[in-house]
């Protein structure tokens, strides 16, 4: 059976998704270090806490995506074997929690930030599907993964009070 995702990853057609992922990493970093930092100062306390937590989730999600993309690129260029990539990719988590749009303060978050979050979630889902098709282990793959509202709130509280 021909695995289309594997064929795509190990060919030149991989470059567009690689470029998209790395471009999103750069765009998010520029926003968070610049405009996002300024906009965050004008948020309410609740929205600022949510912004901080979602910023960490966004950064984590993008770093995991970038790690996966870099591994696939290394395999594509012959720097690593597929077996080496499979062993290293076990360290990459593609099941990060998505945004909690019902969280207090969500509607106050900057539009560009929310757009970055949604784009990163969509990209992560595409990468996760490709990973599942290529490697097929299925252990960490949960297409309908949705964090419980309680655990999401607990994580927000832990994040908000972790500065002490």
CA-CA distances (angstroms) from residue 141 to 38, 56, 96? 37, 22, 11
- Percentage of the residues of the chain whose pLDDT score is greater than 70: 75
Q: How far is it, in rounded angstroms, from Cα 128 to Cα 134?
A: 10
Comparing C-alpha atoms, which of 54, 2, 67 is closest to residue 28? 54
pTM confidence score: 0.75
Q: Which residue has the higher pLDDT, 127 or 100?
A: 127
- Percentage of the residues of the chain whose pLDDT score is greater than 90: 51
Could you report the per-residue pLDDT of 70-113, keeping only the tens digit for each? 998 888 888 988 788 888 888 888 887 788 899 999 999 999 99
């Amino acid at each position: 059976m021909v695995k289309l995702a594997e064929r795509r990853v190990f060919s030149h057609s991989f470059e567009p998704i690689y470029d998209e992922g790395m471009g999103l990493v750069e765009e998010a970093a520029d926003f968070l270090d610049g405009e996002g930092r300024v906009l965050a100062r004008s948020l309410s306390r609740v929205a600022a806490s949510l912004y901080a937590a979602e910023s960490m989730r966004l950064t984590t999600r993008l770093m995991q995506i970038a790690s996966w993309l870099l591994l696939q690129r290394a395999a594509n260029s012959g720097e690593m074997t597929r077996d080496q990539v499979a062993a290293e990719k076990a360290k990459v988590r593609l099941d990060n929690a998505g945004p909690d749009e019902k969280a207090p303060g969500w509607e106050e978050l900057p539009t560009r930030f929310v757009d970055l979050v949604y784009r990163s979630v969509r990209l992560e889902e595409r990468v996760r599907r490709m990973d599942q098709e290529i490697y097929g282990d299925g252990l960490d793959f949960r297409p309908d993964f949705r964090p419980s509202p309680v655990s999401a709130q607990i994580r927000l509280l832990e994040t908000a009070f972790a500065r002490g």
